[in-house]
Homo-oligomer: A and B are copies of this chain.
Amino acid sequence: MRPAEPAKKLRPARTTATRQRLFDASMELIGERGAAGVTVDEIAAAAGVSKGTVYYNFGSKSDLIAQLLRHGVDILKARLMGAPDGGTGQDPLLAMEAMIGQAMDFMAEYPSFARLWVSENWRTPSEWQGTFTLLRAELLAVISEAVENVAKAYPVDPSVSRGSLETAIFGACFVVGLDRQTYNPERTRNQSVAAIMAIMRGYVIQQPAPQG
């Protein structure tokens, strides 16, 4: 039997471990060489598992990758929402800074996921179009809330589209994180956070031109 959805609750004993190994192995390989550049045989070998097991647990290479994306986003979301004092009544700008710090840590810890994301995200008709749309919305919602809190506590520039701003922050996190790992390993986490936070400081209204 090859179930479309392998029993998740019934026998998670071996399965859970196997899936985790497959996630780890494919995250690494796919991040390095791209989804199309990695073979199922390689993934199986790297996970120390037979090829048949991959097809038993995931129906196809495509499904494996879709679930890999979901897996990574769950981790990232948890980090962003778990940023110290994300919710309580602290300074929203500090909360924002903590959140971006968490994002940078995530990019450093899972660079392969970040590469997978930026590699496949904007492909026009992609097998994972729907997956990306959904996951992107989930992540943006977290960012949106943090920006919203800033906008409630500070005067912000109303001429700046909130959505575009969130997109810029979202994208900058990935790009700055990846660039640091690839081209500028000497840059510190805090430098990266500060550069991205410049977006927020520019969004908060500076005293209007002394016209009145």
A interface with B by C-beta (< 8 Å): 31-37, 111, 114-115, 118-125, 133, 136, 157, 159-161, 163-165, 167-168, 170-172, 174-176, 178-184, 187, 191-192, 194-203, 206-207, 209-210, 212
Contact = CB atoms under 8 A, between A and B. Distances in A.
A195 B163 CA distance: 9
Contact of A119 (B34, B175, B200, B203): B34
B133 A122 contact: no
Number of this chain's copies in the complex: 2
Contacts of A32: 123-125
Contacts of A176: 164, 167-168, 171
Contacts of A122: 111, 114-115, 118, 178-179, 181-182
Considering the complex of A and B, which 8 residue pairs feature the smallest CB-CB distances, nearest first? A171-B175, A202-B202, A201-B202, A198-B202, A164-B195, A206-B206, A36-B36, A161-B191
B115 A183 contact: no
A189 to B, nearest CB: 10
Contacts of A172: 168, 171-172, 175, 199
A179 B167 CA distance: 8
A163 B175 contact: no
25 contacts: A33-B123, A34-B34, A111-B122, A114-B122, A115-B122, A115-B124, A118-B122, A119-B123, A122-B178, A157-B198, A160-B191, A160-B195, A160-B198, A161-B194, A163-B187, A170-B175, A171-B171, A171-B175, A171-B179, A172-B175, A195-B199, A198-B198, A198-B202, A201-B201, A207-B210
